[in-house]
Amino acid sequence: MLLLAAAIAPSAALLYYFYTRDKYEKEPRQLLFKAFLLGGSLVIPVLFIETTLNIFDAANKSLIAAGYTAFIVAGLVEESAKFLLFFMYIWKQREFNEMYDGIVYSVFISLGFATVENLAYVLSAGFGAAIIRSFTAVPAHALFAAVMGYYLGIARFAKLQYRRKYIWLGFISPVLLHGIYDFILLYGRLYLLALFIPYMLYLWKRGLRHVDELVEFSPFKNGEDMDTPKDNEIH
């Protein structure tokens, strides 16, 4: 039970933070819970795809092996799965009626994935893995999602001529951020590992900046009661 709690606690804390930052119009808890569960359900198909694509041995620390595994096997596959789930389940929801909602739903999907993944790691590797991953992998997933949700939140209410640009940013940015994260760890060179903590601080700073920006852009900030904004209202 202690291992189970240690595996779940980081995700619970992050979910609480991103949920409570939605100050003006909270999302339905049932919808958020479904997003979380659906995110968790991605682990098995993603694992299958990653296993199929992984052509390098885990001991191979070459530049090509680390780059391919980090950016393609991990970054592209995992963030693509979350991105597609967002569009299939969230994009046209009536409740997606302010830009910050993009971050909330993206984070719930991503932390659903991260929680199941973390459970597998912690139950196999023990309490030490739980401590390390609570400060690294789990928040990293949330912060990749904050970037994805930031751009998708803007895209949802952008003028049509700008929408594709923000959708692409919502896809490419987390893939690159995730790839860099894994590459630092997989390549294993000391000069790169020295950058790991500064990189995590950068992810936190960027993610929290995106949160603060979109929270204050809420159409409900002044107590207005409005339906989903129409297309072309925001540029």
Count Cα atoms within 13 angstroms, Cβ side, for 231. Answer: 7
Residue 35: the pLDDT is 97
Query: What is the spatial distance between Cα 201 and Cα 184, in angstroms, rounded to a whole number?
Result: 14
Instruction: Choose among 3, 5, 17, 7: nearest CA to 138.
Output: 7
Strand-pairing partners, residue 158, are: 234
pLDDT digits (tens, 9 = 90+) for 87-100: 999 999 999 999 99
Average pLDDT over residues 9-14: 95
More confident residue, 23 or 107: 107
Percentage of residues in the chain with pLDDT exceeding 70?
94
Cβ atoms of residues 118 and 137 within 8 Å: yes
DSSP 159: -
Chain-centre distance of CA 72, in angstroms? Answer: 16
The residues spanned by each domain of the chain are 2-21+28-215
Ranges 109-113, 168-172, 213-217: which has the least confidence: 213-217
Does the structure show a pLDDT above 70 at 227?
Answer: no
Q: What is the mean pLDDT of the chain?
A: 92
Q: What is the pTM of this model?
A: 0.92
Query: What is the spatial distance between Cα 146 and Cα 108, in angstroms, rounded to a whole number?
Result: 10
Does the structure show a pLDDT above 90 at 123?
Answer: no
Does the structure show a pLDDT above 60 at 170?
Answer: yes
Ranges 19-23, 43-47, 72-76, 223-227: which has the least confidence: 223-227
H or E, element range at 125? helix 100-125
Does the structure show a pLDDT above 60 at 206?
Answer: yes
List CB contacts of 188: < 8 A, sequence separation 6 or more. Answer: 61, 66
Query: What is the spatial distance between Cα 138 and Cα 129, in angstroms, rounded to a whole number?
Result: 11
Average pLDDT over residues 181-204: 95
Residue 231: the pLDDT is 45
Does the structure show a pLDDT above 80 at 224?
Answer: no
More confident residue, 226 or 148: 148
Q: What is the dihedral of CA 189, 113, 148, 104, to 10 degrees?
A: -130
Average pLDDT over residues 210-219: 90
Average pLDDT over residues 70-81: 98
